[in-house]
Chain A
């Protein structure tokens, strides 16, 4: 029992509610949102140190013992992701201060942002599959409003599609939960793990597992990503960046959690399926990224490639593959936020997202140009930036598990990713400057969050040794579900 565990969820939701009350005070909104995100970051940092020393931290809400109450569980895997969430959210907020516009600020942008973060952190931390559904909904409902906030034609069109897809996948989630409850009689992750291990994962259970896979794939954009390119290019930059950095990652987290803790008994069916879907996702995403000549489209298709690659590591179910997945997950959250913010800045400066309409940006904006170059290299996993290590571990993991084809697809698609993103660099930043002199727009205030994220991707690459201890601890927890179960139930034996 550790009351600390609830703080990362409580802080942003209370901040959001206070902001709704003081609706007109935008400056107050800004300060409060930044302060609460930093507070969550500090709490999570302390939590990580505590987990490092004392093992997985849990909280049984209301004092109800584990299988009956709702448990919150903070293991190293979740805590690392929450810390990354805080950094990314902070950068997107700083970017939003300068770019989101007064109208959106007046209509609850900051409270909605806080509720979105609450949902994301809640999903990472919950120890109960129904609570996972609730946290998903908290996150999704905020994202519904954020995506349609502003109400332009394009936004409305895309948000209706986005909402419909997510509502239907939420219903499928409920159906899967209902079946799971009928078969096991419990919803607590740790208890589910015990029950499924005891009863054996028979055919029916595997079907339910695949139903869960479909649900999470819809949210993560694993193969079922048809809704993603449209809806991620509709909202303004800061919102698109936080979506790209966090929302798909929550789906990925759910897949990794469920398929390492509960349904890990039939890897030749479920994990092979994840591997095949990941392969298709990478190929289709890369083809899309190469084919388009529109910045927004190129970077949204890169999100899809990233999802496929992370889950290729998870499909291997080996320590190496999962280590790679975690490294790459952290890297991907940082670098996807960075590339979306950079792309948004370019569109803000040139007024168009079509690559053929502008060139020679690096002459006017050298800082922006070099940051884009670093982000591009990092995105495709070139050393010494942060994507490299994850890429190596995932490739080794897939080879070790016998999914050699998957590793090869991963490597080939990284080349295509490099091409697609270099296409933006070469066409947009190099070449002769086509804009007139008086057209120069300001990047003041926009470069700070970009700089933070760029530094972070460099540090994560060069200083990977520093977080290796924590990543190892997280992966150990994923490989041995026993740690998680023991932390939830203590020394009591539960059947």
Chain B
């Protein structure tokens, strides 16, 4: 299961990086979002998948699952969500003000 997950994480990373390297702003933002999902899956895989029962009092089991990566993941998802939302709004505003969503045409320091 972990191996399969690692391959999936690799594929997500590849797609994310490919999209980030393109020129259109929206594709770049989608790329960061997909990269973020890859990172989240990586965190959960690193804690080990399906190791035992839920770590709650009153549940008898031989081993218990590690709950820390899930807590980390939750925080990471929230932060990822917030920054993606901010970036989307900002890129829309940039498109309105600068008149383009092509990063190639956004270069330069003129039209202040």
Contact = CB atoms under 8 A, between A and B. Distances in A.
B72 A130 contact: yes
A168 B35 contact: yes
Interface stretch (A146-154, A325-333, A457-465): A146-154
B90 A187 contact: no
Give the one of B76, B98, B106 with max A CB within 10 A.
B76
A269 interface: no
A177 interface: yes
Interface stretch (A157-165, A193-201, A236-244, A381-389): A157-165
B43 A163 contact: no
Given A148-B90, A163-B90, A167-B87, A153 B111 contact: yes
Interface in A315-342: none
A413 to B, nearest CB: 26
A144 B83 contact: yes
B2 to A, nearest CB: 10
A370 interface: no
A179 interface: yes
B43 A157 contact: no
B109 interface: yes
Contact of B97 (A153, A164, A177): A153
B28 interface: yes
A168 B17 CA distance: 10
Given A152-B112, A175-B39, A145 B86 contact: yes
Contact of A156 (B43, B75, B79, B94): B94
Contact of B68 (A141, A152, A174, A181): A181
B30 interface: no
Give the one of A154, A167, A187 with max B CB within 10 A.
A167
A153 B105 CA distance: 13
A17 interface: no
B82 to A, nearest CB: 7
Interface in B27-72: 28, 32, 35-36, 39-40, 42-43, 46-47, 68-69, 72
A134 B71 CA distance: 12
Contacts of A167: 32, 83, 87
A141 B112 contact: no
Interface residues of A, number: 29
A415 interface: no
A174 B98 CA distance: 33
Nearest to B83: A167
Contacts of A134: 75, 79
A182 interface: yes
A137 B79 contact: yes
Nearest to B33: A167
A157 B32 contact: no
Contacts of B98: 153, 156-157
Interface string A90-131: 000000000000000000000000000000000000000010
Contacts, number: 85
B76 A157 contact: no
A342 to B, nearest CB: 22
Contact of A174 (B76, B111, B112): B76
Given A153-B112, A171-B36, A181-B46, A141 B82 contact: yes
Give the one of A152, A168, A171 with max B CB within 10 A.
A171
A182 B91 contact: no
A174 B79 CA distance: 12
Contacts of B35: 168, 171
Nearest to B38: A171
A178 interface: yes
Nearest to A68: B68
Give the one of A141, A145, A154, A187 with max B CB within 10 A.
A154
Nearest to B91: A160
B42 A163 contact: no
Contact of B42 (A153, A168, A170, A175): A175
A154 B79 contact: no
B8 to A, nearest CB: 15
B93 interface: yes
Given A167-B32, A178-B46, A154 B68 contact: no
A163 B72 contact: no
A156 B97 contact: yes
Contacts of A148: 90, 93
A182 B46 contact: yes
Contacts of A177: 43, 72
A148 B89 CA distance: 11
Contact of B20 (A130, A137, A168): A168
Contacts of B68: 181, 187
A204 B97 CA distance: 47
A170 B83 CA distance: 11
6 contacts: A130-B72, A141-B86, A156-B97, A177-B72, A178-B69, A187-B68
Interface of A: 130, 134, 137, 141, 144-145, 148, 151-154, 156-157, 159-160, 163-164, 167-168, 170-171, 174-175, 177-179, 181-182, 187
Given A134-B75, A181-B46, 19 more contacts: A130-B72, A141-B79, A141-B86, A144-B86, A144-B90, A151-B93, A156-B97, A159-B90, A160-B25, A160-B106, A170-B79, A171-B36, A175-B42, A178-B43, A178-B46, A179-B46, A181-B47, A181-B69, A182-B46
Question: Which 9 pairs across A and B sit closest by C-beta, in order of nearness?
Answer: A182-B46, A156-B94, A178-B46, A178-B43, A174-B39, A154-B112, A171-B39, A137-B79, A178-B42
